[in-house]
Amino acid sequence: MTAKPFQISVSDDVLNDLRTRLARTLFTAASDTTSWAAGADPGYLRELVTYWADGFDWRAAETALNAYPHHIAEIAGRQVHFVHLRGRRAEGAPAPLPLILTHGWPSSFVEMLRVAERLADPAGHGGDPADAFDVVIPSLPGFLYSELPQGPFTRRGVAETWHTLMTRTLGYRRFGAFGGDIGGGVTQWLGALYPGEVAGVHVTSAVITTDFREQPPTAEEEAYLEALSAYDATDRGYSEIMCTRPDTIAAALADSPAGLVAWIIDKYRDWSDCGGDLETRWDKDTLLTVATLYWATGTIGSSFRQYYDYPQNRPVPNITVPSAVTLSNEPAYANIPRSLTERICTDLRHWSTPERGGHFMAHEEPEQVANELRAFFRPLRSGS
């Protein structure tokens, strides 16, 4: 299995059609006097769409993205896109440790670029060159340039694909794994399935996969689960739609770029550690880079598959490799008891609650995440 170089290239026809659609956007009125209380704020959306149509420079963004080494590999008959940053190895320093970073929804490889630069070149960012990583950032199946699997989208299935990518396509004998959200689930499966090749796993959201059949929840765990359920009652409208009627909402978002970006930024604001001000974490150019990638590839609908197929996921088996958690500062995970993670991670070596950085922590706090990854993997590098 080999990988071939790839470059992002959006045609002028696609861009011209996008601008035409943006210019013809029909905006709704706000349903609540409090900004963002009822979803994407119409005033901010109008501002963002106006800039997207007549201000945002996609070609500059495309050039910046193509400065990274993109590749396409075929695995199990499906196309997998990934960025591959080779670590900068100082003379006399050990070989960089391979590390795969997996994003979640509604995200992309773009989320991981800021931290990847710090991981691949620690000396260039004030760190120790001995901490360098070879960084691999794949796009999840159905996201952007990666194709959906032949069967259901499961986190186990993605982990199996990532293992093939790392060991057979790229030839790594041993590697680490990091992720949050869907990427956290994939990362946990990597640790559970491949203890011989996975040096350690690090997640930013302690994904709960236990079914409590063998050991009922403790009082602390039960309180957390009740609080999580109460939060979900006000937040899960998006997921209920994508779990049950993904093709219906996809039809609207595939036809309206304004609708597409509204669907995305609602979650970027709600889940980021931004204090209600989205652009403290995501500037307009980055938001629109992600939105344009989704639009140009027509993959917002296929990105929903992991929601529709979610019932086909199974609980993660025990993870015996060294594990680490850096909790994201978002309602769904900020107060999760450590004991829930210890139920499946039998060698939990690192538990951190920095109270900075939300759902997209690698983008929001890249220096923090880089430091946590360096510290966790430093004693695990031997044999890589």
Q: Rounded to whole angstroms, how far apart are CA atoms 164 and 180?
A: 20
Structure-token pair, residue 260: 């597409």
How does DSSP assign 320-358, residue by residue?
A: -S-EEEE--SSTTTTT--HHHHHTTBTTEEEEE--S---
Parallel, antiparallel, or unpaired for β 323-326 and 348-352? parallel
* Residues whose CB is less than 8 angstroms from the CB of residue 276 and which lie 6 or more positions away in sequence, other chains included: 36, 269
What are the C-alpha distances in Å from 239 to residues 52, 308, 312, 341? 26, 9, 16, 24
> Which residues are catalytically annotated?
181, 307, 359
Q: Are strands 133-138 and 97-102 parallel, antiparallel or unpaired?
A: parallel
Tell how far CA 237 is from the center of its chain: 20
Q: What's the count of helices (H) and strands (E) in the chain, helices before strands? A: 15, 9
CA separation for the pair 96, 348 (Å, rounded): 23
Give the distance from CA 212 to its chain's centroid: 27
Contact 326, 169 (CB under 8 A): no
Provide the token pair at 187: 């990362």
Please provide the size of the chain in residues.
Answer: 384
CA 8 to chain centre: 19
